[in-house]
Amino acid sequence: MDVFIGLIRLAAVIALAFFLGRAFARLRLPAILGWLIAGMVLGPHALGLLSSGMMDSGWYEAVEGLMECTAGMMIGTELILGDMKRTGGPLLVMTIAESLGTFFVVSLVFGIVFWFTGVPLYLALLFGGIALATAPAPSLSIVNEFRASGPVTKTLIPMAVLDDMVGAVVFFLVMAFVTVTSSAQQIPVGAVIVVVLLPIFIGAAGGLIGGLILRFVHNKGGEIAATVLLLLAVTGTGFWVNSLLPVEVMNFMLLGMAFATVFSNLINGEQRRDIMSVMNPVIGGALIVVILNLGAPLDYHLVFGAGLYTLIYIVSRAAGKYGGAWVGAAMTHAPDTVRKYLGFTLLPHSGISLIFTGIAVSVLEGTSPEGASIIQGTIAAAAVINEVIAVYMAKKGFEWAGELQEGGRTGKGRKRKAEEAV
């Protein structure tokens, strides 16, 4: 009965988030901003309709994991290897430049601040490692809502996969260093490989099986049924493997990306379009749940207690993301719009950053409780403030690049039409 009541409450939360998103859309703001605010308002720190107990329950974690995996399909079905051969190298260069640029800027800024304030310098590296994390769901929901298309969109979608991988590698390497430096609890060295490769391996294995099965299915109903069953099987395998890990850090969105990437490259374009014509509305609903889950843990009260560290973190991370993306795009001779506006689409942050923060705090609280408090308080407050600003700026980035398809016209098209009317 508890599960049944919980499902009704979750359905009510989704419905309220949907209508709030529609209200924001009428104000020419991205619907995701409404979903995010709905998560904060309806979450455990406000009205509590989406309570802590509910979010910690097994059934809710299963639903959330499945929704993340489903949302990941939006990226995976776009990663067609034949189309990516021309851009694979430049994408890797841009991702590394953007990720390491962010790590360098945030670590350097906090290193200078901590040098003068007497805070251990290794905390600056932790801030840099956490800052790498980019939440792809907010920007991707804008792509889905406004049917964004163009160089920035085409660069962002595959970069979302690479960015998660680079971010995880750098963060866990930093954690290994901090573990030795602070003499805190040990994190297995193999955690770096596990966190990055396990979801890719599980998803790819499921995608391989799915692609081979779909080659023998020649009707739309069968294609959809096979895809859904395999998606459930892949998600279930992810949960089983996650339960065996010392720290539950399975990236279910990356799992879904890998699953969809492999099967999409094994079937023909017509089959892919048939599947996605049915799955796209489902993916849209999954994105609402994912964004709600990002917003619910954010305590809006932290906005009032945000201090100087929070401001430094938000500004330095934004500078690192934008500057790193600009340098990477310039190095690879990407189009001007990518150089100027890609960085804005990479600003959304919470989600994986909160997971990284939790891991960092668990390592530090035994030997450096003050350091753990600094990390936790700064990132928690930054998550609330940054996410609201970042969603708006991500939408503006696509708009300034002229890639939003509202009413069949891009942002630049509307601007030109207004100018002609004058």
Q: What is the DSSP string of 57-95?
A: SHHHHHHHHHHHHHHHHHHHTT--HHHHTTTHHHHHHHH
The reply to whether 287 falls in a domain is yes
Residue 311 lies in a domain: yes
- Tokens representing 222? 């069968």
Residue 384: name the closest of 405, 342, 354 by CA: 354
Q: Does a structural domain hold residue 389?
A: yes
- Decide if 87 is inside a domain: yes
Q: Any idea what the CATH number is for the domain that residue 290 is in?
A: 1.20.1530.20
Instruction: Read off the pLDDT of residues 80-125 as tens digits, 9 standing for 90 and up.
Output: 666 555 556 788 888 889 989 999 999 999 999 999 988 888 889 9
Q: Would residue 419 count as lying in a domain?
A: no
DSSP classification of residue 147: T
- The total of structural domains in the chain comes to 1
In a domain, residue 422? The reply is: no
CA torsion sign for 331, 335, 339, 342 is negative
Radius of gyration of the chain (CA): 21
pLDDT tops 90 at residue 233: yes
Q: By three-state DSSP, how is residue 288 classified?
A: helix
pLDDT in tens, 291-335: 888 778 777 666 665 678 888 999 999 999 999 999 999 998 888
Q: Which residues span the domain enclosing 401?
A: 2-409
- DSSP character at residue 121: T
* 339-362 residue pLDDT tens: 999 999 888 876 667 667 766 776
Residue 417 has pLDDT above 50, yes or no: no
% of the chain beyond a pLDDT of 70: 83
Q: In this structure, is residue 414 part of a structural domain?
A: no
363-368 contacts at long range (C-beta below 8 A, 24 or more positions apart): 363/175, 363/178, 363/179, 363/182, 363/184, 363/185, 363/187, 364/178, 364/182, 364/184, 366/184, 366/185, 367/182, 367/183, 367/184, 368/120, 368/182, 368/184
| Tokens standing for residue 9 | 């409450």
d(CA 280, CA 71): 9
Rounded distance between C-alpha atoms, residue 294 and residue 286, angstroms: 13
Q: With a threshold of 0.75, does the pTM exceed it?
A: no
Distance CA 388, CA 395 (A): 11
